[in-house]
Amino acid sequence: MIPLLFQLSLPPSIVPPDVVQQAATLRDLALSRTGAIEIVQSLTDGVGPRLSGSEGAQAARAWALSTLASLGFQNVHAEAVVEPRWERGVEEAEILSPRQRLVVTALGGSPPTPPGGLQGKVVGVADLESLRVLLAGDPAAVRGRIVFFTERMERTRDGSGYGRAVAMRSQGAKAVSAAGGLAVLIRSVGTSSSRLPHTGAMQTDGPVVPAAAVSAPDADLLERLLPRGISVRLSLGCRVRPDAPSANIVGELKGTGEEVVLLGAHLDSWDLGQGALDDGAGVGIILDAARILRSSSHPLRRTVRVVLFANEENGSRGGQGYALAHAAEAPVHASALEMDLGADPVYGFASLTGPEGRAATDAIFELLKPLGVTERAEGGESGADVSPLIPLGVPMLSLRQDASRYFDFHHSADDTLDKIDPRNMQQAVAAVVAVTAVVADMPGTLGRVPPQKPRSE
Amino acid sequence: MIPLLFQLSLPPSIVPPDVVQQAATLRDLALSRTGAIEIVQSLTDGVGPRLSGSEGAQAARAWALSTLASLGFQNVHAEAVVEPRWERGVEEAEILSPRQRLVVTALGGSPPTPPGGLQGKVVGVADLESLRVLLAGDPAAVRGRIVFFTERMERTRDGSGYGRAVAMRSQGAKAVSAAGGLAVLIRSVGTSSSRLPHTGAMQTDGPVVPAAAVSAPDADLLERLLPRGISVRLSLGCRVRPDAPSANIVGELKGTGEEVVLLGAHLDSWDLGQGALDDGAGVGIILDAARILRSSSHPLRRTVRVVLFANEENGSRGGQGYALAHAAEAPVHASALEMDLGADPVYGFASLTGPEGRAATDAIFELLKPLGVTERAEGGESGADVSPLIPLGVPMLSLRQDASRYFDFHHSADDTLDKIDPRNMQQAVAAVVAVTAVVADMPGTLGRVPPQKPRSE
């Protein structure tokens, strides 16, 4: 670590008044527009779902290349990556007695059941820890059984309930496989009470059993019936196919200098919905923000690079591929910011920079306050696609969006355009514009992020 | 008509204070219990969906006979009717370009598409009237086309938006068949923005084309894409099967006299959800109300007869069968009341009686006011199953429930137990108890309903 006194003696990165003034002007211009919803609509109506390796993902790349060009971006190109390909197929489940259909959806990466399905008694556990406790008492407790994880995701503004509940989705199928279980059902990781299950990735870096998410009302039913001793039949026709060629799609607003300010979102989506919120909204927000930055009175000092990442949902190959391909160029990355939490308003700002970034991020926070942004944090989260740049020293800027409603729709068939409030989304555009207008045009820098423990996303 | 002066000279049906007092006591007892939700849960968890002619409907009849007996009803029996049998099968739809899946569900009674589906250009119209206007200008306007009805149901407390929007569901497939069209899609008749379509009956008393409801987000998408000129492929595997034996299930609390007070709800449901609101709630409300009436300090003057009707959803054979079988007994039916609008609180009271019923219904309204019931109407609605008794002179009593949320779930997969607030439902039980305690025990009568134009339900 650099000694504290030396850190304090660094000249603070002052943001000149004309840069602040221009950022405020562009921020307010963003609020007066409705451009982001048009971009999301173009993507969701014209392409729709775009799961990695699918025809939709290919159509989305073509859409992105053409859209970036038509929006006036420069240096529009694709940067090849390879991504996993997993297909859903049939998904059916029922309780055998009393005979009741269960609405389920396979977790991404799940292996199929045998043809005709599998059948087993159901053991209910709250979460991974409860499973561990159960197995400690009886190592054979779930052998030949279907394990049902019942944990309920808590609705919170910061989305922290997701991080807590998602462990059963990520690791349940490995844990149950290790214990000799037959299959996994989880209560959907989501906050809606609708009869639509929420998919999502599961870890497949080891033996796993077939795994599916159950809609909330069906999870309620299963939980009520557990004391009766019930059996379930589960049929999943999903398939893992060979990896498929894909690409991150990149475009730039050229700056006068060498440095780059990265704005990211991910182009892929799950297959059930239309990926309007996840992450069509992020795509719409950053593209509209970058478009508005073109209205600046002069060319910015730094290049604004938009990156539409491949395969965020089930592999992160796009984010990892970008970091690998651009490792040598990492020192010219002045900052990175990713939008991937829907379309609701920004209420907080977090930054992970070198110590000399403090004055600039303070100035940015002042610019965000008129938008209703009230919370300020150091360090903190960054998107899954840009976090591989942290070990390379790239400063991270994060805009925290209100996630109270996001997990009602996230990863479900309900992720559709109507769930977006265009005015709310435009506030997020204005926030991205304010942040980027400062970091792309200020004379000083945010420094470099010191080495730290790798993040577990 | 009876001359007005003669009507006024009839002695008013005064409700004695002890009857009012007992009704108030039982009403308040109902509020202190939670019995209705337990009955609904027993039905939805133990049986689930129970579409006419299905195994579920058969299981529901067995459940009803056993539940009525265990709740202490007398004269528990089944009264045979025959009901239509229609099965759903596969249902798939997609827009061909841009290729987008549409979430659809067949309307009850729809014929299947040819194997492999049908395909056609889509013509959008707002409603039946718009279709008539279009055809007046060009009789060939929908020939060989799929007609998409776009009308949006309005959310209202009294549910009146349903009556307006449902015409396209009932009659669209006949109108389009008559105009040489290929198939019908309708925007779901419902108020939810979830990606779950709402089924419901369509008229099949003439040539019809295959017809399906589209979820609200998919209807939005279709509507946005209409100007591009789109084609849809639709595949429905539904089947009309031979009529099936069924029955209304009846139980009684025997009164000291000959007269009968009828409490009704319907036992059948659509197949997509679990029929918790439609009409498990009605079943729970009237059975719990009747159970609470057993706590009266003395036997009531009139028999309280609960009737769980068959086949309300797609044929009304239960209600018609009851009226036919009991026509000779109609004069001893002192009143009928059906609960079939979910589980939310009662806010209004309507009555259709002879003129001598005015004092009693005024007294009932006073008993309902402490429950928050503020609206009073004459005539008005009655349930589909009891309305065939109107031409037989049977007085109708109606409790208007708040229907603001009901059509979010109605006829969709989302009609599940978690959508019921047990406290709200118990208020409705208390209202049924208050009404019934008066009409079953007062010395006077509600008179007879004068002949009137048949209702169109």
CB B84 within 8 A of CB B238: no
Angstrom distances, CA of residue A198 to CA of A55, A153, A193, B245, B361: 22, 12, 11, 40, 50
Query: A-chain residues within 8 Å CB-CB of B273?
Result: 195
* Residues linked to residue B106 through DSSP beta bridges, in sequence order: B212
Chain A contacts in chain B segment 5-64 (CB below 8 A)? 41, 45-49, 55, 59
| Chain A residues near residue B49 by CB distance under 8 angstroms | 101
Nearest CA among A55, A41, A45 for reference residue A268 = A55
Q: Which of A311, A350, A356, A343 is nearest to A52 (CA)?
A: A311
CA dihedral A137, A142, A146, A149 (to 10 degrees): 20
* DSSP per-residue letters across B31-66: HT--HHHHHHHHHHHHT----TTSHHHHHHHHHHHH
Residue A224 at interface with chain B, using a CB cutoff of 8 Å: yes
**DSSP code string of B14-31:** PPPHHHHHHHHHHHHHHH
pLDDT for B195: 98
Three-state SS annotation for chain A: CCCHHHHHHCCCCCCCHHHHHHHHHHHHHHHCCCHHHHHHHHHHHHCCCCCCCCHHHHHHHHHHHHHHHHCCCEEEEEEEEEEEEEECCCEEEEECCCCEEECEEECECCCCCCCCCEEEEEEEECCHHHHHHHHHHCCCCCCCCEEEECCCCCCCCCCHHHHHHHHHHHHHHHHHHHCCCCEEEEECCCCCCCCCCCCCECCCCCCCCCEEEECHHHHHHHHHHHHHCCEEEEEECCEEEEEEEEEEEEEEECCCCCCEEEEEEECCCCCCCCCHHHHHHHHHHHHHHHHHHCCCCCCCCCEEEEEEECCCCCCCHHHHHHHHHCHHHHHHEEEEEECCCCCCCEEEEEEECCHHHHHHHHHHHHHHHHHCCCEEEECCCCCCCCHHHHHHCCCEEEEEECCCCHHHHCCCCCCCHHHCCHHHHHHHHHHHHHHHHHHCCCCCCCCCCCCCCCCCC
Would you state the pLDDT for residue B297?
Answer: 87
Is the Cβ–Cβ distance between B310 and B83 less than 8 Å?
yes
Contact B98 A41 (CB under 8 A): no
Q: Residue B453 has what pLDDT?
A: 62
User: B193 — contact with chain A (CB < 8 Å)?
Assistant: yes
- Which chain A residue has the Cα nearest residue B97? A46
Cβ-in-10-Å burial (0-12, 13-18, 19+) of A227 comes to exposed
Residues A196, B193: C-beta atoms closer than 8 Å: no
Residue B244's φ and ψ, nearest 5 degrees, are: -120, 150
Structure tokens, A429 = 């555009």
Distance CA B198, CA B194 (A): 10
Q: What is the pLDDT of residue A457?
A: 41
Q: How many CB pairs under 8 A join A and B?
A: 79
Predicted pLDDT at B1: 40
Residues of A in contact with B62 (CB under 8 A): none
Residue A90 near chain B (CB below 8 Å): no
Look at strands B100-102 and B91-95 and give their pairing. Answer: antiparallel
Q: pLDDT tens for residues B11-27?
A: 455 899 999 999 999 99
CA distances from residue A24 to A302, A315, B432 in whole angstroms, order as listed: 18, 38, 62
Which pairing describes strands B118-125 and B146-149: parallel, antiparallel, or unpaired?
Answer: parallel
Residue contact A273–B225, C-beta within 8 A: no
What is the total residue count of chain B? 457
**Tokens at residue B103, please?**
């979430």
- A67-96 as b/e, with b when 16 or more CB fall inside 10 Å? bbeebebeebebbebbbbbbebeebbbbbe
Task: Give the H/E segment covering residue B446.
Answer: none
From residue B271, give the alpha-carbon distance in Å to each of B243, B318, B414. 17, 18, 11
> Could you give the strand order of the β-sheet that contains B211-214, starting from the edge strand earlier in sequence?
B100-102, B91-95, B231-236, B118-125, B146-149, B183-187, B211-214, B104-106
| Amino acid residing at B182 | L
Active-site residue identified among A312, A313, A338, A381: A312
Q: Is the peptide bond preceding residue B279 cis, with omega within 30 degrees of 0?
A: yes
Interface test with A, best of B412, B416, B421 (most A CBs within 10 A): B416
Nearest to A162 by CA among A193, A195, A200: A200
Mention every residue, 6+ apart, whose C-beta is less than 8 A from residue A19.
Answer: A437, A438, A441, A442
Cα–chain-centroid distance for residue A441?
A: 28
Q: Give the mutation candidate from B42, B54, B195, B412 for the A interface (greatest A CB count, under 10 A).
A: B195
Closest in A48, A194, A225 to B194, CB measured:
A194
Looking at residue A454, its pLDDT comes to 52
Nearest to A54 by CA among A196, A201, A267, A306: A267
Maximum CA extent, chain B: 73
The full DSSP string for B99-154 is TEEE-EEEPBTPPPPPTT-EEEEEEEESSHHHHHHHHHH-TTTTTT-EEEE-PPPP
Residue in B312, B313, B338, B381 annotated catalytic: B312
- B45 CB neighbours in chain A (<8 A) are 98, 100, 221, 224-225
The residue assigned the tokens 């993507």 is: A43
- CB contacts of B99 in chain A (<8 Å) are 48, 55
CB B274 within 8 Å of CB B56: no
Cβ–Cβ < 8 Å for A313, A270? yes
**DSSP sequence for B374-431:** -EEEES----TTTGGGGGGT--EEEEEE--TTHHHHTTSTT--GGG--HHHHHHHHHH
Q: Which residues lie closer than 8 Å to B453 by C-beta, 6 or more apart? A: none
Tell me if residue B312 is catalytic.
yes
Whole-angstrom Cα distance, residue B280 to residue B118?
Answer: 36
Residue A412 at interface with chain B, using a CB cutoff of 8 Å:
yes
What separation, in Å, do the N-terminal and C-terminal C-alpha atoms of chain B show?
Answer: 25
Structure tokens at A171: 């690791």
Q: Is B411 touching A (CB cutoff 8 A)?
A: no
Q: Are B456 and B390 in contact (CB under 8 A)?
A: no
Query: What six digits make up the tokens of A231?
Result: 């059996």
Single pTM value for the model: 0.94
Asked whether the beta carbons of A229 and A198 are under 8 A apart, the reply is no
Nearest neighbour of B195 by CB, restricted to A47, A196, A224:
A196
Weakly modelled stretches of chain A, pLDDT under 70: 1-13, 380, 453-457
Q: How far is A227 from chain B (nearest CA, A)?
A: 13
Cβ neighbours of B195 in A, within 8 Å: 196, 273, 412-414, 416
Residues from chain A that touch B413, judged by Cβ atoms under 8 A, are: 103, 195
Contact B217 A99 (CB under 8 A): no
For chain B, 457 residues long, give each residue's pLDDT as a single digit of tens.
Answer: 444 444 444 445 589 999 999 999 999 999 999 999 999 999 999 999 999 999 999 999 999 999 999 999 999 999 999 999 999 999 999 999 999 999 999 999 999 999 999 999 999 999 999 999 999 999 999 999 999 999 999 999 999 999 999 999 999 999 999 999 999 999 999 999 999 999 999 999 999 999 999 999 999 999 999 999 999 999 999 999 999 999 999 999 999 999 999 999 999 999 999 999 999 999 999 999 999 999 888 999 999 999 999 999 999 999 999 999 999 999 999 999 999 999 999 999 999 999 999 999 999 999 999 999 999 999 867 799 999 999 999 999 999 999 999 999 999 999 999 999 999 999 999 999 999 999 999 999 999 998 876 544 4
Each residue's pLDDT tens digit, B242-269: 999 999 999 999 999 999 999 999 999 9
Judge whether A215 and A408 are in contact, CB under 8 Å: no
**Cα-Cα end-to-end distance for chain A:** 25
B195–A48 CB contact, under 8 Å: no
Predicted local confidence at residue A160, as pLDDT: 94
The total of other beta-carbon atoms located within 10 Å of residue B1's CB is 7
Contact criterion met (CB < 8 Å) for A45 and B224: yes
- Closest among B87, B136, B91 to B113, alpha carbons compared: B91
DSSP for residue B201 = B
- At residue A67, what are phi and psi to the nearest 5 degrees? -70, -45
Give every CB contact of residue A58 below 8 A, 6+ residues apart in sequence: none
